[in-house]
């Protein structure tokens, strides 16, 4: 039986296990990427592992999330990151050079290689045939030290693309269509592999919009085969020699097949406040729009912004609406400027942001109260834009530009009928990129150009807290009862007032779950132990390990949930918190404040590989909770987390 493309790449990198879905495999990591908000912990952990230099082929440190440096703490973080990259041998992308996924795609993404990144949208270069996976920071630190990355062998699903996109339909609508069909849980444990005759109709920026947002499906990764589009993209950056022909075997065996007829795709929109709340744009038409933003790691390429620029050229945006363009990289900004589009957009009334994540996590351009914001981003979780009760819609640049012109949500096809001369902009590849990270690139410091050989730690850079080894007895209150699909944005928000403490865990912990219950952190500290209680898909969204680290710091011992999101579950193990799965009846019956005791000798049960644990509630009734963990995860849990465990191993 032939192999899927995913299996081929995994096979090439396999160091442990068999490619059996559901079984754990260990893979060699060729490249790592990290960014400013997860990177500080990565390097502190790398330092704690007492290693001298990075062992992967390439490591890249980006400064992209908080580039406005509102507070010296952010600037201290950036200086620390530059010093760490220089000291240990990573490329350093300066603040303002762009969002990690876009800059990596331009400079380093390499077909057939593996990439591990401390950001959940790391799968973006899957559009170039790279097998890229998002993970917690500690997993990145260990991989940089030469350790394998362990992950459950995913099921590989064939997403067969047929036909060709019609006018006004875009790659963004393809991934929104998949979210509509599969939901934010639909990709958990899966790699989505795109095949079929529709593939060749999509350019690299279009493919990477799709692979980027596969994360919103919960997928482990998403990948396209390579072809002349891939070669052409690499050539634009003087990297044509990195092209590798990649395709699944003809008799590859997929776990499942999803057929998407591109010609039937129409303009879609994800309504507040989940990326899978998808509907045809027409169904939301007529809603007044206060703010429009085009950009982010999903739609921030030059080619993504170009259609909006063409639509707005010579026009004026509606007086009710503010519009911002936030390019994904400085390269994209430069191309817009060189080709005259910046001036066109400005004349139409658009404001420009530097190339940053910014507004995507509520840093700048926070919507007004009780207002509607339309964004070409990938996430619209409630409150993420920086204001509670926000109303954020996700859509393509075309739909965004149409709304800016009309002042309300409108199907661009209807607007084109109304407005004389508004034509479908189509998709056009850019030319005239400046070549990537070679000598003379002002914004990327190559390892050999480093200006640092020691870590520079400002007063905000703290230590990595550690947990004791797992003991025999765990008991404590159910500290907080939560519903389904709780995101890591709920657990540790990323807004600017909080983000500056990512390298200061004691301070950051004060904000733990504050979006759900402001009193949580105090209650947890006081209880000094206890559990979190949650519904399905607990911890979806961001890869931020702080969502496990901070509860650990507050004394939380474990999470009882109906199910877990992949990266967050790994982060819970990494910081020594026990993730237990419970059934619906048990979830319904436990109330916040109830006393929960694991009856078994937990340490022995974990060591012996036991799956079923008995929990006793209020000393009154009992239920079964399950620990779904392999031997490695159990050893990590027993050691009190991955850092102590890895130190033992490296020693
Ligand atoms: C996000 O989109 O939520 C982030 C901010 O990029 C996170 C990383 C972080 O929390 O620092 C992610 O996607 O992993
Ligand atoms: Fe940045 Fe938003 Fe992309 Fe996360 S999803 S990397 S915050 S642009």
Cα 497 to ligand 1 centroid, rounded to whole Å:
16
Say what the pLDDT of residue 632 is. 96
Pull the structure tokens for residue 510. Answer: 């004060």
Who contacts 15 (Cβ-Cβ below 8 Å, separation ≥6)?
26, 27, 28, 148
Pull the structure tokens for residue 143. Answer: 């991989």
118 lines ligand 2 (CB under 6 A): no
Say what the pLDDT of residue 74 is. 95
Pull the structure tokens for residue 271. Answer: 């309504």
Say what the pLDDT of residue 437 is. 76
Distance, in Å, from the CA atom of 332 to the CA atom of 296, rounded to the nearest integer, reads: 11
Confidence of residue 544 (pLDDT cuts 50, 70, 90): very high
Residue 651 pLDDT greater than 80, yes or no: no
Least distant ligand from the CA of 120: 1
Residue 553 pLDDT greater than 80, yes or no: yes
Say what the pLDDT of residue 412 is. 98
pLDDT tens string 181-222: 999 999 999 999 999 999 999 999 999 999 999 999 999 999
Say what the pLDDT of residue 546 is. 98
pLDDT tens string 463-472: 999 999 999 9
Say what the pLDDT of residue 434 is. 83
Distance, in Å, from the CA atom of 434 to the CA atom of 449, rounded to the nearest integer, reads: 20
Distance, in Å, from the CA atom of 45 to the CA atom of 47, rounded to the nearest integer, reads: 5
The domain locations on the chain are 5-264, 268-418, 474-650
Residue 534 pLDDT greater than 90, yes or no: yes
Q: Is 481 helix (H, G, I), strand (E, B) or coil?
A: strand
646 lines ligand 1 (CB under 6 A): no
pLDDT tens string 493-512: 999 899 999 999 999 999 99
543 lines ligand 1 (CB under 6 A): yes
| DSSP conformation class of 42 | H
Assign domain 268-418 to a CATH class. alpha beta
Least distant ligand from the CA of 360: 2
Mean pLDDT of the chain: 97
Distance, in Å, from the CA atom of 551 to the CA atom of 647, rounded to the nearest integer, reads: 22
- 93, 121, 295, best to mutate for ligand 2 pocket (most atoms within 8 Å of CB): 121
Reference 537, options 572, 566, 561, 564; nearest CA is: 564
Q: Tokens 């012109």 map to which residue?
A: 405
- 42, 74, 99, 119, best to mutate for ligand 1 pocket (most atoms within 8 Å of CB): 119
Nearest CA to ligand 1 atom 7: 542
C-alpha pair distances (Å), 162 with each of 104, 190, 258: 29, 21, 11
Q: Output phi, psi for 516, to 5 deg.
A: -95, -40
Contact by Cβ (8 Å): 496, 362:
yes
The ligand 1 atom at the shortest distance from the C-alpha of residue 544 is 10
Q: Tokens 């070409």 map to which residue?
A: 376
Confidence of residue 262 (pLDDT cuts 50, 70, 90): very high
Confidence of residue 390 (pLDDT cuts 50, 70, 90): very high
Residue 85 pLDDT greater than 80, yes or no: yes
Who contacts 50 (Cβ-Cβ below 8 Å, separation ≥6)?
647, 650
Cα 18 to ligand 2 centroid, rounded to whole Å:
33
165 lines ligand 1 (CB under 6 A): no
C-alpha pair distances (Å), 69 with each of 63, 73, 363, 642: 11, 8, 10, 31
Q: Average pLDDT of 317-329? A: 98
pLDDT tens string 594-629: 999 999 999 999 999 999 999 999 999 999 999 999
Distance, in Å, from the CA atom of 223 to the CA atom of 236, rounded to the nearest integer, reads: 21
Q: What percent of the chain has pLDDT over 90?
A: 96
What sections of 428-583 are H helices per DSSP? Answer: 488-491, 496-499, 505-509, 520-527, 546-553, 566-574
Cα 540 to ligand 2 centroid, rounded to whole Å:
14
Cα 627 to ligand 1 centroid, rounded to whole Å:
27
Cα 628 to ligand 1 centroid, rounded to whole Å:
26
Pull the structure tokens for residue 490. Answer: 């709920």
Least distant ligand from the CA of 100: 2
494 lines ligand 1 (CB under 6 A): yes
Cα 161 to ligand 1 centroid, rounded to whole Å:
29
Q: Tokens 């989505």 map to which residue?
A: 192
Confidence of residue 170 (pLDDT cuts 50, 70, 90): very high
pLDDT tens string 434-457: 877 777 788 999 999 999 999 999
- Answer whether 5-264 and 474-650 agree in fold: no
Cα 119 to ligand 1 centroid, rounded to whole Å:
5
360 lines ligand 2 (CB under 6 A): yes
Nearest CA to ligand 2 atom 2: 360
pLDDT tens string 110-130: 999 999 999 999 999 999 999
Look at the domain 5-264 and name its fold.
Answer: Aconitase; domain 3 (3.30.499)
Contact by Cβ (8 Å): 285, 370:
no
Say what the pLDDT of residue 194 is. 99
Q: Which CATH number fits domain 474-650: 3.30.70.1050, 3.40.50.970, 3.20.19.10, 3.90.1010.20?
A: 3.20.19.10
Distance, in Å, from the CA atom of 610 to the CA atom of 382, rounded to the nearest integer, reads: 38
Tell me the Cα Rg of the chain: 24
Confidence of residue 17 (pLDDT cuts 50, 70, 90): very high
Residue 136 pLDDT greater than 80, yes or no: yes
Cα 543 to ligand 1 centroid, rounded to whole Å:
6
Say what the pLDDT of residue 316 is. 97
Q: Average pLDDT of 298-327? A: 98
Cα 304 to ligand 1 centroid, rounded to whole Å:
21
Q: What percent of the chain has pLDDT over 70?
A: 100
DSSP secondary structure string for all residues of 583-647? -HHHHHH--TT-EEEE-S-HHHHHHTT--EEEEEETTTEEEEEE----HHHHHHHHHTSHHHHHH
398 lines ligand 2 (CB under 6 A): no
Least distant ligand from the CA of 353: 2
Q: Is 2 helix (H, G, I), strand (E, B) or coil?
A: strand
Cα 101 to ligand 1 centroid, rounded to whole Å:
11
Distance, in Å, from the CA atom of 25 to the CA atom of 371, rounded to the nearest integer, reads: 47
The ligand 2 atom at the shortest distance from the C-alpha of residue 65 is 1
More confident residue, 533 or 1: 533
DSSP secondary structure string for all residues of 629-644? --HHHHHHHHHTSHHH
297 lines ligand 2 (CB under 6 A): yes
Cα 298 to ligand 1 centroid, rounded to whole Å:
13
- 39, 65, 293, best to mutate for ligand 2 pocket (most atoms within 8 Å of CB): 65
Task: Count the Cβ atoms, other than its own, within 10 Å of residue 592.
Answer: 13
Cα 357 to ligand 2 centroid, rounded to whole Å:
5
Residue 458 pLDDT greater than 80, yes or no: yes
378 lines ligand 2 (CB under 6 A): yes
Distance, in Å, from the CA atom of 98 to the CA atom of 441, rounded to the nearest integer, reads: 14
């Amino acid at each position: 039986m032939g192999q899927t493309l995913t299996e081929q790449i995994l096979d090439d990198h396999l160091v442990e296990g068999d490619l059996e879905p559901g079984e754990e495999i260990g893979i060699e990591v060729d490249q790592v990427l990290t960014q400013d908000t997860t990177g500080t912990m990565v390097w502190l952990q790398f330092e704690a592992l007492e290693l001298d230099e990075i062992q992967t082929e390439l490591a890249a440190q980006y400064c992209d999330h908080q580039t406005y440096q509102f507070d010296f703490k952010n600037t201290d973080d950036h200086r620390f990151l530059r010093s760490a990259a220089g000291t240990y041998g990573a490329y350093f992308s300066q603040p303002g050079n762009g969002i990690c996924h876009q800059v990596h795609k331009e400079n380093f993404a390499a077909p057939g290689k593996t990439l591990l990144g401390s950001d959940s949208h790391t799968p973006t270069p899957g559009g170039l045939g790279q097998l890229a996976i998002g993970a917690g920071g500690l997993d990145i630190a260990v991989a940089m030290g030469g350790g394998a990355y362990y992950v459950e062998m995913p099921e590989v699903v064939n997403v067969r693309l047929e036909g060709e996109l019609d006018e006004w339909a875009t790659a963004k609508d393809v991934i929104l269509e998949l979210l509509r069909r599969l939901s934010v849980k639909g990709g958990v444990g899966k790699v989505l592999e795109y095949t079929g005759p529709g593939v060749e109709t999509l350019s690299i920026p279009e493919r990477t919009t799709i692979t980027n947002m596969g994360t919103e499906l919960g997928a482990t990764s998403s990948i396209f085969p390579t072809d002349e589009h891939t070669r052409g993209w690499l050539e634009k950056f003087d990297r044509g020699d990195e092209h590798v022909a990649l395709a699944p075997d003809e008799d590859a065996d997929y776990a499942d097949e999803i057929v998407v007829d591109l010609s039937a795709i129409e303009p879609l929109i994800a309504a507040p406040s989940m990326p899978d709340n998808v509907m045809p744009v027409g169904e939301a038409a007529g809603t007044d729009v206060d703010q429009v933003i085009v950009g982010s790691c999903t739609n921030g390429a030059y080619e993504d912004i170009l259609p909006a620029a063409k639509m707005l050229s010579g026009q004026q945006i509606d007086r009710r609406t503010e519009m911002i363009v936030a390019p994904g990289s400085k390269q994209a900004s430069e191309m817009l400027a060189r080709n005259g589009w910046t001036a066109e957009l400005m004349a139409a009334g658009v404001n420009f942001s530097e190339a940053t994540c910014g507004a995507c996590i509520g840093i700048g351009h926070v919507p007004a109260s009780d207002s509607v914001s339309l964004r070409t981003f990938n996430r619209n979780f409630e409150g993420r834009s920086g204001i509670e009760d926000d109303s954020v819609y996700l859509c393509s640049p075309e739909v965004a530009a149409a709304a800016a012109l009309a002042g309300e949500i409108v199907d661009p096809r209807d607007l084109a009928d109304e407005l004389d001369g508004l034509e479908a902009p189509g998709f056009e590849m850019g030319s005239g990129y400046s070549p990537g990270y070679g000598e003379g690139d002002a914004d990327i410091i190559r390892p050999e150009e480093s200006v640092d050989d020691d870590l520079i730690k400002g007063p905000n850079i703290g230590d990595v807290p550690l947990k004791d080894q797992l003991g025999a007895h765990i008991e404590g209150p159910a500290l907080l009862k939560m519903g389904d699909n709780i995101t890591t944005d709920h657990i540790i928000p990323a807004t600017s007032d909080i983000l500056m403490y990512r390298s200061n865990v004691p301070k950051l912990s004060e904000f733990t779950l504050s979006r759900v219950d402001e009193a949580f952190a105090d209650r947890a500290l006081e209880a000094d132990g206890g559990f979190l209680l949650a519904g399905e898909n607990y911890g979806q969204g961001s890869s931020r390990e702080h969502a496990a680290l901070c509860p650990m710091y507050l004394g939380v011992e474990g999470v009882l949930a109906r199910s877990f999101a992949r990266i967050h579950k790994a982060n819970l193990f990494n910081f020594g918190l026990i993730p237990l799965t419970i059934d619906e009846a048990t979830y319904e019956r436990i109330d916040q404040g109830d006393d929960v005791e694991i009856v078994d000798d937990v340490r022995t049960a974990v060591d012996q590989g036991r799956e079923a644990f008995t929990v006793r509630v209020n000393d009154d009734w009992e239920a079964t909770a399950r620990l779904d963990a392999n031997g490695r995860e159990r050893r990590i849990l027993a050691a009190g987390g991955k850092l102590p465990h890895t130190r033992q191993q490296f020693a």
